[in-house]
Chain A
């Protein structure tokens, strides 16, 4: 009986030993799986690629005039001086856009030696920047300032246009192409 009990005790001890061994193998497997997972993750980050983007906004200027054609008629003369009274038109609306700094709007006529005299200036400037220059007298075809000091804004203004004549200019009609340019100040 005593030998049978001893045999059973020894058999039990062997079973326990096998269980412990199996458990140990399982733990080592799990640890290896974790290590494999971690090493896989590390290997994936290193495979990513990088890119540098250069973003640029170039200078953009836009300008437009609302009234594509207008007529000024000088049909009165002063009783005191006898001089023809100038004709005025303020219907034209100038709009512009710029993302640059220190810009200006210039104006130029295509007529190098006009018979009648046209003067212009900007009125009621809105948009946050820009101020009206002195009267632009279109007595030749050179470029004259209309609005100066425009920076990073969009705005609008009325265009005051006055045409005058002297009696010695006589009777007649003249048409001018007037070009507005927004450009560097």
Chain B
């Protein structure tokens, strides 16, 4: 009787060993953390040339010119309070530059005069941008000058910023 119990025990033990040997597991813990991400990029020509070369006789304001050859793309995963601002590297002593951004995720501010907007005084061009991403949204620049300002050439850098 004792012998059979021993044999049975040995059989169960060997069965347990075989089972543990034939189905093994390994485990890992993986954490995926997503922080605030803002990304905005402009696509199109690196340099845009806009030339005012027409006007109406008797009118100081010359005929404005527009450019809508570039687009922007945006990705943000923060709250819906995110916005896009625009500014120049320096104010323009002569002439005026306006910008208008189309937005699907947010609300466009329409055409915004950024002639005097610098980094410290950037202006909202899109606000209330929902979390997500969109691309290929057009940027429209409008450059205007007065005849009284005479001839000038200016090179300006426009910066778009996505921010809370």
Contacts and interface: CB of A to CB of B under 8 A. Distances in A.
Contacts of B21: 75-77
5 contacts: A75-B17, A75-B18, A75-B21, A76-B21, A77-B21
Ranked 4 nearest A-B pairs via Cβ: A75-B17, A75-B21, A76-B21, A77-B21
A75 B22 CA distance: 10
Interface residues of B, number: 3
Q: Size range of the interface on A? A: under 10
A167 to B, nearest CB: 12
Contacts of A77: 21
A76 B21 CA distance: 7
Interface string B1-43: 0000000000000000110010000000000000000000000
A75 B15 CA distance: 11
Contacts of B17: 75
A75 B21 CA distance: 7
Interface in B112-136: none
A75 B18 CA distance: 7
A75 B17 CA distance: 8
Contacts of A76: 21
B29 to A, nearest CB: 18
Interface string A137-169: 000000000000000000000000000000000
Interface in A70-91: 75-77
A76 B18 CA distance: 9
Nearest to B22: A171
Nearest to B26: A79
